[in-house]
């Protein structure tokens, strides 16, 4: 059953298994772009002007001192928003920095009073305070569940009434999710019983290659229904939030991605329907759908060169060779890359990154022959910087301007606007406030009220005449399942699961039409097998390339031969028993960890599910049983970034040192489950100087990393450090330690989690010597990371294809439970 | 100063609620080669093959002041658009134009009859620099490269280009499609610049087909490829870890060439992977050999280093001025790299934090020397937005050591206790937070990417936020401001009694230069009017919300009046070029050159 547009007093009767587009009053704002997912609200009586000074006067309904940069969602009488903890209205003190986190807040729409707050620690992310709370939330109005994708990599399902966790995933530690420094994290959408989110990640086996992917979770249990992969090379992190629409009889989820493409996947199966690569950089804006048209923009170079940036209109029903037809496009060197467009169904409003609003007539005949140019009708200058997206409503545009402004632009159809109401925010006077009040929020509009936030405050504005409008039904429907339809595709559910040694899993085999609609009661007889997992198309670490560029005048110094192959092999077939009739598997209880796949074959159709058997504590790994070129079973984010090699006649793990891309150059090899706690990790680690540099190398427990720092301080002193969320940095403490090239050290790290704090204790010593009694480093964290995967850490800052960087070797990894 | 929470724990448990302010320990400059040490004379117009009317480097002199005092004329009259008679366009004033890549940030440098620009390869001029043909693009998509293009000054004819491959590491070192951002310097038939690959490069400026002087093993050798004399990889040779882009526009003084290396943080923006790598270097312009190196900002670098050095003589002492990634300006001995003085361009209470609220900045603009004083404003990567900025006038003559305006006396708390520095080199300071009642802006002066343009003791400076400010160069007193309403990356440029400035929205402004400008400060006037209105409304017993509204309205009315006056008196023209402009216009040999992100325009003087 699908209810994307919740009607509080009206129960929709839905065609079984089919999703319908919205059909009635939109009293809620569940998707970040509203009921039509287009940045359009049909509410009327919205304010032309307002004054932030006093609630109850001049159209200000309420304000509370809780700032945010995202978009609130409105469900019934509650507003939900994700925000930073510690983003004070001035630069942070060290204490504030130490307590910085992220939160999901539930507020009363009547007065902004807080109903509940859930706080999430941040770690393993390159995001900093002012960019926390980036990804908008979504909800399932049927069950009042809230879904959040946090900067720290949690994907959580919360009870909308209480804030209690119903289920959660740790996307970083389970699936090798990466964040960029920019904060770019995409928000989820909820549709067809699934909640779907897009991330840049690389984990293991067929998903080891770093790529932009969508992952769909069962909205009630969090079990994975499918992974959808974008086909082109990963360029960077991105934050296009998907939309869902019926196009050409199929229900599809459409998103811009990390590969410069716009992609459509069937919502229920994750089958990619089409892709259109239109950017040489990542696509951050979210598309909007008008009838059969998909409209989107970007602010990067174009794949064919020429001007920077583009606005496109594609026909989602005219697909040729996997690509939709271009209806029109616009490109004049303006960047449209950081906010998303809005449309009222006739005009498209696209903000440039530089604070100008461009208006296009969607249905105007394009000119310019094959170029299909649609010239903009008008451009309105409302500022210098745009990050938040516009909402069009009541013949007005509501939009944030980053430099402390909220702007209401009065629309005059085809004529360029002449009037705008601008509120300029100022920081409270020092010492309470300092610096410019950033305004990044995209407004939400519900029941005749406009909700948005600034760095410092939440606002609700409206007039006494404000009211919700009617959302018309979409004309597009899905093709229904014909009676006696034969399956065109099959899937295993869950499609990806993490289990313990000895566990059994029963997969559900589901059949779908070619359009991706579930065929209920399909009688499927499958042949089940445990094949060797497919090796990814391209390894995260590519083959060695000749060094490019101008050659040095003098011959470069002779480079040392590489000690290891650059590609790491995928896992072997799953070691498990399988029931030929039901497909129920039981993984070998004696094998401490592994990963593999299960396959079901029905006629010519096949479906596979991924199974990770997670290393359990206690756990030992000396790499003796791992083939050279492979990685240990059950580890995540390791394949392609680490590889087993022979060193001194023994097999050890080696950090790939020929790929300078940040997610490979600096990588964690996650070993145990994300909810591991109360353990100690030990490992032998050896760093070797290359090109005058020692690598950073260490171990992680509970999201605290202890590492040997390859650099020295201003006095030439080296150190061993404990860090957590180093991009802030929330924690970065060090003690002097002499770290020599070529020496095997033993590192030991343990975390004791107490009620209010965590005590992190680490030791490091020359492994040929006895273990010292005293801890080398101890640290007490008042904002404890209560759990987290045990992991190895390696960072080669001077990695280079053809000129390998510093070397890191790991051996004798042991994870043991702490003594009670 | 470093406010990062890097606590050194000796033993036992440390609670990280305190800040250890690590004292900056500059490592002395190291002279590494016995190369020419004479500063002799800097090349100036008329020497070293530089024509009198040329624009041969960033700022057109080692003082970097964007002022053209040649007796040339440039009209600000431009034709109107056929679509809208209120809009002025380049139109018939265009002498010639050439298409560049999709971004052009380097140059233009106009010297020796040629024009040199740094751009990207998004409009490839060589088939080789395209990928495999695709269904959509039978020619093959452009490959991402850094490109230095050479055109003929007369007619824009394309002569040759230097192609630099991108670094494999991607945006952390070499931002995609950013092209080549360094403005080349022309000197004796050579041009010198920094490539996107963190190399210092010397090319044969007068290359003719088939010529290959100096270095012989160029990677690309078709007839339109450049002739490399020497190149020096700062990553390979001195282990620099550039952040995002290497873009220094080198400085040449005599035989010495000075460069800021771009050393900075890595992807997580805190860690400096190569703290020992130098930030400032001096090379022999002839051989490309390193003469000295200095890692002065070292671990105190906040982000990256993208400014340019300048050169001047102060109290008889020749100095090279390096803006550091720690927000300090350094005066160094040109021959040895030895530090003479340093000046903190941030208040001691400032903090570096990402975004608009951070109060501590580094430099994007270049220091400018005028009448033996140094002028510079603070700024940041534009992605960090438009926060507070500071503009300084510094007189370093006869001074040594720390010549900052204030000194920290107690760093155990934050903000630290300070005292006035008796050894201060500050002449005046302009900027900081604007606390005047009802002032619409947070700041008196906000972050800048621009360099000052100073003529007749009048200073013009742009802000990233789109404002141009006109100040008294002697005192820092404000005369007037104008809001161009789009981000400004380039600098003001003086020629023929006019000040030119372009912005990101593609508007080219002409302001009238006045030796005795009128004080037309819209904020001061607006604020004063607001205070009067506030008093009046209060006296009338209105509630606070209405009082504020009336005060704001009074501000708007008064400020608008002042703006109209500035417009009437100083704004001569606004030309809609309609292509983003992130460079500084330059006039050479009677022709105005305007480089947009994608086109180089040569514009007739009238």
A92 contacts B141? CB cut-off 8 A = no
d(CA B342, CA B333): 12
The first and second tokens of residue B135, run together, are 């269904």
A236 contacts B354? CB cut-off 8 A = no
CA distance B456 to chain A (A): 31
**pLDDT at B30 > cutoff 70:** no
The first and second tokens of residue B388, run together, are 């507070």
> H-helix or E-strand containing A788?
none
Q: In chain A, count of helices (H) and strands (E)? A: 3, 57
The first and second tokens of residue B494, run together, are 């003086």
**pLDDT at A54 > cutoff 80:** yes
A714 contacts B298? CB cut-off 8 A = yes
Strand partners, A512: A489, A518
Q: At what angle do helices B522-539 and B544-570 cross, to 10 degrees?
A: 150
Strand partners, B7: A733
CA-based torsion, B279, B239, B231, B218: positive or negative? negative
Nearest CB neighbour to B549, from listed A51, A726, A732: A51
Which of B358, B444, B438 shows the shortest CA–CA distance to A434? B358
- CB contacts of B167 in chain A (<8 Å) are 549, 660
pLDDT for position B45: 54
d(CA B154, CA B176): 32
Per cent of chain B over pLDDT 70 is 92
A94 contacts B18? CB cut-off 8 A = yes
- CB contacts of A782 in chain B (<8 Å) are 15, 17
ipTM for the predicted complex comes to 0.92
For the segment A496-512, what is each residue's pLDDT rounded down to a tens digit? 999 999 999 999 999 99
- CB contacts of B25 in chain A (<8 Å) are 714-715
How high is the mean pLDDT of chain A? 92
Nearest CB neighbour to A98, from listed B17, B298, B356: B17
B7 contacts A733? CB cut-off 8 A = yes
A301 contacts B177? CB cut-off 8 A = yes
**pLDDT at B359 > cutoff 90:** yes
CA distance B12 to chain A (A): 6
Nearest chain B Cα to A456, which residue? Answer: B357
Per cent of chain A over pLDDT 70 is 92
- CB contacts of A384 in chain B (<8 Å) are 386, 465-466, 485-487, 504
- b or e along A422-431 (b: 16 or more beta carbons within 10 Å of the residue's beta carbon)? ebbbbbeeee
Q: Which of A406, A429, A714 to mutate to test the interface with B (most CBs of B within 10 A)?
A: A714
How high is the mean pLDDT of chain B? 92
B578 contacts A304? CB cut-off 8 A = no
Nearest CB neighbour to A307, from listed B102, B142, B266: B102
The two beta strands, A605-613 and A496-499, are parallel
- CB contacts of A375 in chain B (<8 Å) are none
B199 contacts A129? CB cut-off 8 A = no
The two beta strands, A391-393 and A508-512, are unpaired
The two beta strands, A777-781 and B13-14, are parallel
For the segment B50-74, what is each residue's pLDDT rounded down to a tens digit? 999 999 999 999 999 999 999 999 9
**pLDDT at B8 > cutoff 50:** no
pLDDT for position B41: 54
B165 contacts A435? CB cut-off 8 A = no
Kindly give, in sequence order, each residue whose CB lies less than 8 Å from that of residue A358, ignoring residues fewer than 6 positions away: A311, A330, A334, A336, A349, A350, A351, A352, A376, A378, A379
List strand residue ranges (DSSP E) for B295-422, in order: 310-314, 317-323, 328-332, 339-344, 368-370, 373-377, 390-394, 401-402, 406-410, 417-420
- CB contacts of B141 in chain A (<8 Å) are 280, 303-305
For the segment B425-456, what is each residue's pLDDT rounded down to a tens digit? 999 999 999 999 999 888 999 999 999 999 99
Q: Which of A92, A151, A384, A660 to mutate to test the interface with B (most CBs of B within 10 A)?
A: A384
- CB contacts of B435 in chain A (<8 Å) are 429
Using CA atoms of B493, B499, B502, B506 in order, give the dihedral in degrees to the nearest 10.
-140
Strand partners, A808: A687
For the segment B532-554, what is each residue's pLDDT rounded down to a tens digit? 999 999 999 999 999 999 999 99
User: Of A98-112, A221-235, A560-574, B26-40, which gets the smallest average pLDDT?
Assistant: B26-40
Nearest CB neighbour to A53, from listed B195, B442, B545: B545
Average pLDDT over residues A528-537: 83
d(CA A519, CA A444): 37
Please state the three-class secondary structure of A2-27 as a single string: CCCCCCCCCCCCCCCCCCCCCCCECC
Which of A164, A22, A4, A138 shows the shortest CA–CA distance to A70? A138
Please state the three-class secondary structure of B135-195 as a single string: CCCCCCCECCEEEEEEEECCCCCEEEEEEEECCCCHHHCCCCCCCCCCCCEEECCEEEEEC
B487 contacts A301? CB cut-off 8 A = no
């Amino acid at each position: 059953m699908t209810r994307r547009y919740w009607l509080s007093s009206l129960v929709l009767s839905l065609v079984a298994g089919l999703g319908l587009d919205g059909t009635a009053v939109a009293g809620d704002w569940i998707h970040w772009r509203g009921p039509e997912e287009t940045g359009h609200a049909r509410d009327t009586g919205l304010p032309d002007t307002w004054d932030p000074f006093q609630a109850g006067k001049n159209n200000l309904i309420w304000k509370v001192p809780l700032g945010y940069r995202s978009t609130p969602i409105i469900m019934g009488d509650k507003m939900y928003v994700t925000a930073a903890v510690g983003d004070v209205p001035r630069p942070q003190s060290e204490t504030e920095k130490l307590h910085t986190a992220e939160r999901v807040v539930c507020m009363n729409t009547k007065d902004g009073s807080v109903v509940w707050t859930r706080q999430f620690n941040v770690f393993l992310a390159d995001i900093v305070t002012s960019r926390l709370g980036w990804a908008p939330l979504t909800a399932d109005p049927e069950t009042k569940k809230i879904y959040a994708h946090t900067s720290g990599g949690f994907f959580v399902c919360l009870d909308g009434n209480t804030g209690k966790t119903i289920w959660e995933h740790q996307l970083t530690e389970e699936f090798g999710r990466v964040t960029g420094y920019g904060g770019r994290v995409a928000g989820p959408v909820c549709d067809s019983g699934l909640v779907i989110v897009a991330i840049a990640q690389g984990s293991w086996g067929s998903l080891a290659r770093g790529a932009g992917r969508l992952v769909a979770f069962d909205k009630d249990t969090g079990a994975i229904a499918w992974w959808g992969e974008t086909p082109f090379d990963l360029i960077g992190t991105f934050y296009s939030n998907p939309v869902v629409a019926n196009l050409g009889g199929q229900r599809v989820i459409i998103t811009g991605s990390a590969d410069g493409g716009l992609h459509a996947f069937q919502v229920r199966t994750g089958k990619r329907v089409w892709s259109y690569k239109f950017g040489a950089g990542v696509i951050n804006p979210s598309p909007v759908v008008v009838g059969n048209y998909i409209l989107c923009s970007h602010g990067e170079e174009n794949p064919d060169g020429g001007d920077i940036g583009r606005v496109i209109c594609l026909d989602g029903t005219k697909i040729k060779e996997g690509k939709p037809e271009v209806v029109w496009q616009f490109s004049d060197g303006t960047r449209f890359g950081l906010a998303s467009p809005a449309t009222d169904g006739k005009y498209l409003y696209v903000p440039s990154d530089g604070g100008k609003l461009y208006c296009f007539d969607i249905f105007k005949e394009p000119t310019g022959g094959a170029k299909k140019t649609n010239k903009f009708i008008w451009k309105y200058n409302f500022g210098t910087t745009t990050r938040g997206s516009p909402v069009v409503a009541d013949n007005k545009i509501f939009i944030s301007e980053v430099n402390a402004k909220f702007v209401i632009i009065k629309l005059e159809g085809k004529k360029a606007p002449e009037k705008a109401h601008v509120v300029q925010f100022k920081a409270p006077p020092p010492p309470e406030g300092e610096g410019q009040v950033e305004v990044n929020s995209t407004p939400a509009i519900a029941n005749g009220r406009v909700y948005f936030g600034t760095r410092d405050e939440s606002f609700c504005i409206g007039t006494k005449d404000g009211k919700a409008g009617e959302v018309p039904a979409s004309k597009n429907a899905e093709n229904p399942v014909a009676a006696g339809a034969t399956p065109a595709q099959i899937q295993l559910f869950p499609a990806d699961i993490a289990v313990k040694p000895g566990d059994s899993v029963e997969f559900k085999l589901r059949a779908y039409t070619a359009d991706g609609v579930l065929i209920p009661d399909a009688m499927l007889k499958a042949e089940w097998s445990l094949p060797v997992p497919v090796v990814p198309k391209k390894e995260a670490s590519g083959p060695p390339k000749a060094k490019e560029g101008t050659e040095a005048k003098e011959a470069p110094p002779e480079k040392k031969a590489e000690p290891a192959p650059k590609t790491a092999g995928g896992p072997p077939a799953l070691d498990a028993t399988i029931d030929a009739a039901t497909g129920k598997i039981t993984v070998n209880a004696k094998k401490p960890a592994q990963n593999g796949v299960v396959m079901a074959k029905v006629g010519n159709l096949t479906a596979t599910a991924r199974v990770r058997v997670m290393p359990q504590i206690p756990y030992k790994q000396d790499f003796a049983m791992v083939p050279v070129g492979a990685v240990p079973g059950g580890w995540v984010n390791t394949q392609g970034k680490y590889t087993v090699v022979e060193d001194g006649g023994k097999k050890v793990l080696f950090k790939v040192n020929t790929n300078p891309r940040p997610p490979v150059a600096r990588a964690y090899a996650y070993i145990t489950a994300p909810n591991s706690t109360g353990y100690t990790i030990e490992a032998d680690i050896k760093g070797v100087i290359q090109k005058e540099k020692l690598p950073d190398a260490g171990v992680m427990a509970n999201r605290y990393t202890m590492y040997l720092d390859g650099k020295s301080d201003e006095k030439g002193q080296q150190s061993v450090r404990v860090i957590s969320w180093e991009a802030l940095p929330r924690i970065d403490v060090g003690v002097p330690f002499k770290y020599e090239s070529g020496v095997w050290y033993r590192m030991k790290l343990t975390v004791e989690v107490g009620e209010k704090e965590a005590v992190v204790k680490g030791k490091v010593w020359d492994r040929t010597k006895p273990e010292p009694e005293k801890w080398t480093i101890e640290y007490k964290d008042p904002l404890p990371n209560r759990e987290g995967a045990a992991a190895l850490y390696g960072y080669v800052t001077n990695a280079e294809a053809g000129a390998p960087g510093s070397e890191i070797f790991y051996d004798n990894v042991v994870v043991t439970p702490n003594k009670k | 100063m470093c406010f990062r929470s890097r606590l050194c724990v000796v033993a036992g448990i440390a609670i990280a609620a305190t800040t250890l302010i690590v004292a900056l320990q500059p490592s002395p400059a190291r002279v590494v080669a016995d190369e020419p040490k004479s500063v002799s004379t800097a090349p100036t117009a008329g020497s070293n093959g530089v024509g009198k009317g040329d624009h041969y480097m960033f700022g057109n002199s080692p003082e970097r002041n964007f002022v053209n005092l040649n007796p040339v004329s440039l009209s600000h009259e431009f034709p109107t658009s056929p679509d809208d008679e209120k809009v002025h366009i380049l139109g018939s004033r265009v002498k010639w134009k050439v298409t560049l890549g999709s971004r052009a940030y380097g140059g233009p440098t106009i010297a020796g009859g040629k024009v040199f620009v740094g751009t990207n390869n998004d409009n490839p001029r060589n088939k080789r620099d395209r990928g495999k043909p695709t269904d959509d693009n039978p020619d093959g998509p452009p490959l991402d490269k850094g490109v230095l293009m050479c055109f003929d000054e007369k007619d824009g004819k394309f002569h040759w280009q230097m192609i630099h491959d991108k670094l494999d590491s991607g945006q952390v070192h070499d931002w995609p499609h950013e092209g080549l951002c360094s403005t080349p310097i022309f000197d004796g038939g050579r041009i010198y610049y920094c490539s996107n690959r963190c190399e210092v490069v010397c090319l044969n400026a007068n290359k003719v087909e088939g010529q290959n002087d100096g270095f012989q093993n160029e990677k690309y050798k078709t007839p339109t490829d450049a002739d490399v004399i020497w190149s020096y990889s700062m990553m390979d040779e001195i282990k620099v870890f550039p952040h995002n882009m290497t873009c220094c526009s080198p400085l040449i003084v005599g035989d010495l060439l000075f460069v800021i290396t771009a050393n900075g943080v890595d992807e997580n923006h805190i860690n400096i992977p190569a703290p020992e790598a130098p930030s400032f270097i001096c090379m022999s312009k002839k051989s490309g050999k390193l003469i000295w190196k200095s890692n002065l900002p070292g671990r105190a670098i906040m982000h990256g280093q993208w400014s340019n050095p300048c050169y001047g003589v102060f109290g008889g002492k020749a100095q090279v001025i390096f803006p550091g990634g720690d927000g300090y300006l350094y005066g160094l001995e040109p021959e040895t790299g030895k530090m003479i003085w340093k000046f903190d361009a941030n208040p001691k209470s400032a903090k570096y934090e990402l975004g608009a609220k951070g109060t501590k900045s580094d430099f994007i603009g270049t220091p400018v020397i005028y009448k033996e004083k140094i002028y510079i404003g603070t700024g940041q990567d534009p992605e960090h937005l438009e926060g507070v900025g500071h503009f300084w006038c510094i007189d370093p003559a006869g001074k040594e050591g720390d010549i900052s305006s204030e000194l920290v006396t107690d760093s155990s708390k934050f903000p630290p206790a300070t005292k006035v520095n008796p050894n201060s080199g500050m002449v005046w300071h302009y900027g900081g937070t604007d606390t005047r009642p009802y002032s619409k802006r947070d700041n008196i002066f906000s972050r800048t990417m621009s360099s000052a343009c100073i003529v007749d003791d009048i200073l013009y400076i742009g802000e990233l936020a789109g404002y141009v400010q006109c100040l008294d160069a002697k005192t820092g007193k404000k005369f007037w401001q104008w809001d161009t309403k789009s981000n400004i990356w380039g600098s003001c440029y003086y020629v023929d009694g006019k000040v030119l400035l372009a912005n990101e929205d593609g508007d080219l402004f002409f302001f009238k230069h006045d030796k005795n400008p009128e004080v037309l400060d819209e904020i001061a006037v607006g604020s004063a009017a607001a205070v009067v209105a506030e008093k009046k409304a209060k006296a009338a017993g209105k509630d606070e919300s209405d009082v504020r509204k009336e005060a704001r309205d009074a501000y708007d009315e008064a400020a608008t009046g002042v703006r109209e006056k500035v417009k009437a008196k100083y704004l001569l023209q606004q030309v809609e070029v309609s292509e983003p402009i992130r460079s500084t216009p330059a006039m050479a040999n009677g022709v105005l050159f305007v480089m947009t992100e994608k086109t180089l325009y040569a514009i007739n003087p009238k």
